[in-house]
Amino acid sequence: MISFHFCAMSNQAPPSAIVTRFAPSPTGYLHLGHAYAALFAQRAAQEANGRFLLRIEDIDSGRCRAEFEKAIYEDLAWLGLTWEQPVRRQSECMAEFETALNRLHRMGLLYPCFCTRKDIKAEIDAAHSAPHLVQMGPDGPLYPGTCGKLSMIEREQRAESGESFALRLDMARAREQAGPLTWMDRDKGRISAEPELFGDVVLARKDTPTSYHLAVTLDDHIQGVTLVSRGEDLFCATHIHRLLQSVLGLDTPQYHHHGLLKAPDGRRLAKRNKSETIRSLRQTGHTPKEVRAMAGYS
């Protein structure tokens, strides 16, 4: 069995200490909802005399930009947040993600998927005449499992011929291996994990040996995070993270999925809406105290 090799950036906490984190992706400027999430995580650590970490989730090299990462540090510091150094940047930890991926592969829990988005859509559309063949998940139709049915020889031949592929989790096998799973949510109580609702999720993409699900689960373990606080839009993802913790033998933190801050008209805040960013509030003369109050923290 391959043992994990954790890089020097790991921040191990004494077992009883609370460790929280804020884990933004540098794909745009932070908005008030991010200020709320960061302040929430820092407050939870402070109240328990614990530690607060910042992590940069930058695995998507096509969308992440250095200017946005720099702005994350500046905007959070301007708001009065402090965090431990060094900051873990996922783009620097690909070898660790690859090790975990190889481990899942050896356990027989991954398969290559050669389908493009177009292929998947076509397959789902074709199955509409037989709706019982299309399984629905919380985010829409599930991957129909096309490449899970390929023979070993076909998989090898297609991969060797240079066809690009993603790696998907064989959900049925992983589920069987893990057995019943739960997690503790500070807001919602004990939750039964139902990762099977999400089908064979992608755990690595072409040229990137990880996906959000794998990276976030490993990082929280490696950094010794004991309380994952994040928006309720990520509640569903925790079903998958709980399964990955089980099959990879990782720690299960507590969770707190908090409500999302909304725009005055009830809309979800978005990075692409420049006027709602912390940066623009700074530029229009708001003080850090005012912005913290707008995010619900005085």
Residues forming the site for ligand GLU (CB under 6 A)? 23-25, 57, 216, 230, 234
The contacts of residue 7 (CB under 8 Å, 6+ apart) are 92, 93, 95, 96
Of the pair 108, 259, the CB lying nearest ligand GLU is at 259
Q: What's the rounded Cα separation, in Å, for the pair 113 and 49? A: 46
Helix axes 212-222, 94-106, angle to 10 degrees: 110
Give, in degrees to the nearest 5, the angle at Cα 82 between 80 and 87: 140
Q: What is the CB neighbour count within 10 angstroms for residue 117?
A: 7
Minimum CB distance to ligand GLU, residue 298 (Å): 24
Of the pair 135, 208, the CB lying nearest ligand GLU is at 208
Minimum CB distance to ligand GLU, residue 146 (Å): 29
Residue type, 16: S
Minimum CB distance to ligand GLU, residue 55 (Å): 8
Minimum CB distance to ligand GLU, residue 195 (Å): 16
Minimum CB distance to ligand GLU, residue 174 (Å): 20
- Give the pairing of strands 51-56 and 88-89: parallel
Cis peptide before 24 (omega within 30 of 0): no
Give, in degrees to the nearest 5, the angle at Cα 189 between 185 and 190: 85
Minimum CB distance to ligand GLU, residue 192 (Å): 20
Q: What's the rounded Cα separation, in Å, for the pair 61 and 208? A: 9
Residues in the chain: 298
Of the pair 166, 216, the CB lying nearest ligand GLU is at 216
Of the pair 89, 155, the CB lying nearest ligand GLU is at 89
Minimum CB distance to ligand GLU, residue 241 (Å): 8
Structure tokens at 92: 């620097």
Of the pair 216, 218, the CB lying nearest ligand GLU is at 216
Looking from the CA of 145 toward its CB, the CA atoms found within 13 Å total: 12
Of the pair 23, 218, the CB lying nearest ligand GLU is at 23
Of the pair 71, 113, the CB lying nearest ligand GLU is at 71
